[in-house]
Amino acid sequence: MYPSLFPPLDNFPYQNFGTFSECSADYISSYLSQFNSEDLATCLYTNRPTRKEFLNQFCQGLPGTKYGPDDQCKIFFGMNSSVCSSGNDKLLEGYVDYNRCRLELKDGSYVRLFQCSNEGDCENSYGVQDVFDGTRCLDEDGTMGDKYCYHGECQEKYKICNPEDYPGN
């Protein structure tokens, strides 16, 4: 397994959710090597992806295109958590509201982007304060279109990269 950005969750079906690039692994390894512990420096290289593997994985899109609101609940709050739709069927289909790509301050408190159940209990729920870039968002008129959250804004779909554009693959 590659070094991960998130702690491992028991029975989590999405392996290698967040992985480091070869360059990041080299940088972190270099930093850790100053502590004179071979184990610290070499642990990052276990099953390290090749440049081609990394680009192929990265170019598949932003995390939100792969992990919708329900998956994000599981990542942040555990496998027994799920999205609380509160009657919003579009949220169950993976769309956040147009203005829910960024945390907003309203009347002195932050408006949660959406809620996640606490083991099925939506009365005692967790508030999501950040969505993954690439999470689908509704058009301004509330219809399910082709827009995605990116840097806190709901915007048209875009292309991240094409692995064929990189020599040496």
Domain ranges across the chain: 1-60, 63-156
- The reported pLDDT for the residue numbered 7 is 44
- The reported pLDDT for the residue numbered 143 is 92
Instruction: Give me the residue label for tokens 């932003």.
Output: 62
Cα separation, 139 vs 156, in Å, equals: 9
- The reported pLDDT for the residue numbered 50 is 72
* DSSP conformation letters of 65-80: HHS-HHHHHHHHH-TT
* DSSP conformation letters of 9-42: -TT-S-TT-SB--HHHHHHHHHHHHTT--HHHHH
- The reported pLDDT for the residue numbered 1 is 37
Region of residue 168 (phi > 0: left; psi between -120 and 50: alpha; otherwise: beta): left
- The reported pLDDT for the residue numbered 70 is 93
**What are the strands, taking DSSP E only, across the chain?**
83-84, 104-106, 109-111, 114-118, 121-128, 136-137, 147-150, 153-156
- The reported pLDDT for the residue numbered 150 is 87
pLDDT tens for each residue of the chain, 169 residues long: 334 444 444 555 544 545 666 777 777 667 766 665 555 545 555 666 677 776 666 666 788 888 999 999 999 898 999 999 888 899 999 999 988 898 888 888 888 889 999 888 898 888 888 899 999 999 999 999 889 998 889 998 665 665 565 555 4
Architecture of domain 63-156: 3-Layer(aba) Sandwich (3.40)
In terms of Cβ atoms closer than 10 Å to its own Cβ (0-12, 13-18, 19+), residue 92 is middle
